[in-house]
Amino acid sequence: MRAVTAAQTYSVSDLLRDVNLQLYRFNDVSVEGEVSNFVRSAAGHLYFTLKDARAQIKVVLFATNARFLRFRIENGLQLIVRGRLTIYEQKGEFQLNAVSAEPAGIGALQLAFEQLKKKLAEEGLFDPARKKPLPMLPQRIAVVTSPTGAAIRDILHVLGRRFEGLSLQIYPVRVQGPTAGREIAAALRHLSKWKLHDVVLICRGGGSLEDLWAFNEEVVARAVAACEIPTISGVGHETDFTICDFVADLRAPTPSAAAEIVIRAKSEICMQVDTMVRRVRNVVESRVRNIRHELRHLSSSDRLGIVVRRVAMARERLERRRISLYRLLDARAKTLRRRLDAANEPLARFPTRVARERQHLRATVATLQAVSPLSVLSRGYAIAFSRTRRGRKPIQDSSQVKVGEQIEVQLKRGRLEATVDRHTLGVESIWPEVGET
């Protein structure tokens, strides 16, 4: 059985202070493990647990050190943490007081890049629908870059003599170092507010990931996204991709390529305008040519012949119509005439009656003539008249006259005045004896 007390009894404080002193040989250690229970305090201190399959340790990374981290610490991350081991005396907790942390197996910058890229992508900052279209004719160009860097020289070289109708204004910024990101972001904010330009080029020549880092900073990415002028990002070489490239409206592989895009836009527009003018001309000219051709064709004998034939056909048609019209009129006239004739029939019969009556008259006249005294006279008879006071009176009885009385004798031709010598009485044959008168 052992005694309850050992050789020495510590107060709690003394013990922990003593242990802390013993831990001095772990004053600068690096330990690798997986992050869990990550918490960030309002003051910016980071608390998490680092663990492997069998053990775990609490880690604290105070804000003064945490602000130098380029990547975000998050649960599940395999991390190499450097710091010193202590016991947090107030709580009696064993912990690693970290001064820095590095992701295991991958560069911190690379991790930071991936993390920011993932975060912004989730926010939709790379969404193609967010991309502003480049202006058709970018003429007023702003370039956010170093005025002494390789990028601006490349750009000016590309533009070279194809500079007509372009204005280039360089917004000078540092493109490397701790303030570069903030300067670039400020430049973009100003340009966006001024709206003096058609397009903003964000450029830097080639370099390491470290050199290009400013273009991977969140502050730059946010400023690019917020820029109201269309942006073209041309950072580093073709193989370098930056967050700025993803957010910009257009990514050019290099600063030279960014300048190419701008200058090509202009010369292509020029060409397109010329092409359209040519097409307009072609259409109208061929139109006029066609019409002229058509006119010539029309006036040629062949075509004219068609016209003549057409006229002849029309005339023939007219003639046929006229004939049938005549026939129609003729038939109608005949009908009318027939009807007229029918109406005239009593009238037509009328002359025969006249003739008959005329004949009858002639017969009557003949009878009259036959009984006329004149016709008796013409057969040799004479009529004797006595003269009375009432004129002449035919003598039918010899007793009508006295002897010695003057009488008249009417002959066929002429008249005799005679005196009665004697008269005989009685009825006697009217036929006188021959030689007696």
Among 17, 84, 99, 135, binds other proteins (CB under 8 A): 135
* Least CB distance to other proteins at residue 271 (A): 11
Per-residue CA distances from 327 to 199, 319, 324, 331, 332 (Å):
90, 12, 5, 6, 8
Counting contacts by CB under 8 A, is residue 147 touching other proteins?
A: yes
* 265 touches 134 (CB < 8 A): yes
How far is it, in rounded angstroms, from Cα 274 to Cα 280? 10
Helix (H, G, I), strand (E, B) or coil at 29: strand
Among 132, 174, 392, 423, binds other proteins (CB under 8 A): 132
Q: Of the two residues 272 and 375, which places its CB atom closer to other proteins in the complex?
A: 272
HSE value, Cβ hemisphere, 13 Å, CA-based, for 296? 6
Q: Is 333 left (phi over 0), alpha (psi -120 to 50) or beta?
A: alpha
- Give the interface size with other proteins as a residue count (CB under 8 A): 52
Counting contacts by CB under 8 A, is residue 170 touching other proteins?
A: yes
Among 166, 376, 377, 409, binds other proteins (CB under 8 A): 166
* Least CB distance to other proteins at residue 233 (A): 16
How far is it, in rounded angstroms, from Cα 435 to Cα 304? 116
* Least CB distance to other proteins at residue 315 (A): 33
Among 10, 114, 124, 157, binds other proteins (CB under 8 A): 157
Among 11, 21, 91, 160, binds other proteins (CB under 8 A): 160
Q: Please give the residues from 212 up to 251 whose contact with other proteins meets the rule CB under 8 A.
A: 228, 230
Per-residue CA distances from 85 to 15, 52, 209 (Å):
16, 17, 33
Residue type, 280: V
Among 168, 202, 395, 401, binds other proteins (CB under 8 A): 168
Counting contacts by CB under 8 A, is residue 178 touching other proteins?
A: no
- The DSSP 8-state label assigned to residue 23 in this structure reads G
Q: Of the two residues 39 and 136, which places its CB atom closer to other proteins in the complex?
A: 136
The answer to whether the Cα torsion of 266, 268, 271, 273 is positive or negative is: negative
* 185 touches 222 (CB < 8 A): yes
* Least CB distance to other proteins at residue 30 (A): 45
Whose structure tokens read 């992701």?
103
* 166 touches 159 (CB < 8 A): yes
Among 73, 116, 120, 142, binds other proteins (CB under 8 A): 142
* 62 touches 4 (CB < 8 A): no
Q: Of the two residues 269 and 318, which places its CB atom closer to other proteins in the complex?
A: 269
* Least CB distance to other proteins at residue 337 (A): 59
Q: Of the two residues 58 and 190, which places its CB atom closer to other proteins in the complex?
A: 190
The answer to whether the Cα torsion of 195, 197, 198, 199 is positive or negative is: negative
* 79 touches 32 (CB < 8 A): yes
Among 121, 137, 328, 329, binds other proteins (CB under 8 A): 137
Among 13, 169, 179, 367, binds other proteins (CB under 8 A): 169
Order the strands of the 406-410 sheet from edge to edge: 391-394, 383-388, 406-410, 415-419
* Least CB distance to other proteins at residue 235 (A): 20
Question: DSSP string of 199-226?
Answer: EEEEEE----TTTTGGGGSHHHHHHHHH
Q: Please give the residues from 112 up to 131 whose contact with other proteins meets the rule CB under 8 A.
A: 129-131
Q: Of the two residues 133 and 426, which places its CB atom closer to other proteins in the complex?
A: 133
Q: Please give the residues from 247 up to 286 whose contact with other proteins meets the rule CB under 8 A.
A: 266, 269-270, 272-274, 276-277, 279-281, 283-284
* Least CB distance to other proteins at residue 277 (A): 4
Which positions lie near other proteins, rule CB under 8 A? 129-133, 135-137, 139-140, 142, 147, 152-153, 156-157, 160-161, 163-172, 186-187, 190, 193-194, 196, 228, 230, 266, 269-270, 272-274, 276-277, 279-281, 283-284, 287-288, 291
